[in-house]
Amino acid sequence: MEKEDVIRIAEGLRLIEEGVETIQAVMKEKKIKSLKDVAEELIPFFKKDDDSLTDSIISHLG
């Protein structure tokens, strides 16, 4: 592994950390206790608003 690879991995980890922090903040604000609760809210939204999502993606979220 080269220095550039390590830098790219570190950047990816930083982005993951920011994403987790964003998810946690929204869940705390909306008093959502689990990712299952998030999925239960997202699935109907996706089914209604985005016909391009496949059934496999929807079932993966559930």
Residue 52 above 90 pLDDT?
Answer: no
User: Side chain identity at 11, as an amino acid letter?
Assistant: E
The overall longest dimension of the chain from CA atoms, in Å, is 46
Other beta carbons within 10 Å of 43: 16
Which of 38, 37, 40, 43 has the alpha carbon at shortest distance from 56? 43
What's the pLDDT at 54? 63
Q: What is the pTM of this model?
A: 0.62
- Residue 38's Cβ-count burial label (10 Å; 0-12, 13-18, 19+) is middle
- Of 8-12, 24-28, 58-62, the one with minimum mean pLDDT is 58-62
Is the pLDDT reported for residue 29 higher than 90?
yes
The domain spans of the chain are 1-31, 33-62
- pLDDT of 61 > 80? The answer is no
